Amino acid sequence: MADENGAVIWEKVADGVLLVTLQRPPANALGLPVIEGLNAALDDATGTKVVVVRSALDGYFAAGADIKHMSSIDAESFTEYGDALRGALDRLAATDRISIAAIEGLALGGGLELAMACTLRVAGENAQFGLPEVKLGLIPGAGGTQRLPRLVGRGRALDIMLTARQVGATEAHSIGLVDRLVETGTASEAATTLADELSALSLPAQQAVIRAVDASFERPLDEGLRYEAVEVGNLFERGEAKEGITAFLDKRRPRFA
């Protein structure tokens, strides 16, 4: 399917997997057409367990916010635009499903913020990452200042944002910005294969993993351990743990929802 602007298309490529493709030339600027397309795709994601986001454009995942649009609006409209972009990325980042960014080429500014909103990032060796907003007298405003430190640490995040430099795929993988590094041109295939693997597992358990890991950044260790214990108990009582345990004992594949 496609949104009315044609900037985003999506299709269910496997049981529980939705493939979302950005295709707004020349660089997938995250203007209103892409924002609306992302929201439309997520509206249609009911019943899917994994969403893969990729680009159809050579050399670009997404090159940032729509600067031309930003240059033509007043402060009130700028705030509305930022809220709309953050809203779409927050929906992608929500733990109701897993999301994977398949990155080839440039992922800059809002494009990197889009990738960081995903649960995981798979990148080709040609990928380049950066948050160059200080060159415009701005800061990353769609989650960049919050998500980047959680992925790479405070010092590395400051280095990337304060210098506005681009980070190559190898460095991005070594510092934890990228989760899987693959040959150029294979990121989409690798991300879809990973999505197939993830969709076969228990989504409630995966959601609990994400919540518990996120809690480790927000709580002291003793509180985090208690939170983990609550999550385990909930999965055993109301989740899919009984099916998983029964399948293991029966030596068969579990039948997760």
Report, as residue numbers or ranges, the catalytic residues.
Answer: 65, 110, 113, 133
Dihedral class, residue 208 (left if φ above 0, else alpha if ψ from -120 to 50, else beta) = alpha
- Assign residue 59 a region (left: φ > 0; alpha: ψ between -120 and 50; beta: otherwise): left
Q: Which residue's entry shows tokens 């203007």?
A: 31
Residues in the chain: 257
Q: CA 98, CA 119: separation in Å to the nearest integer?
A: 6
Residue 28 and residue 53 in contact, taking contact as beta carbons nearer than 8 Å:
no
Q: Do residues 198 and 49 lie in contact, with contact meaning Cβ atoms separated by under 8 Å?
A: yes
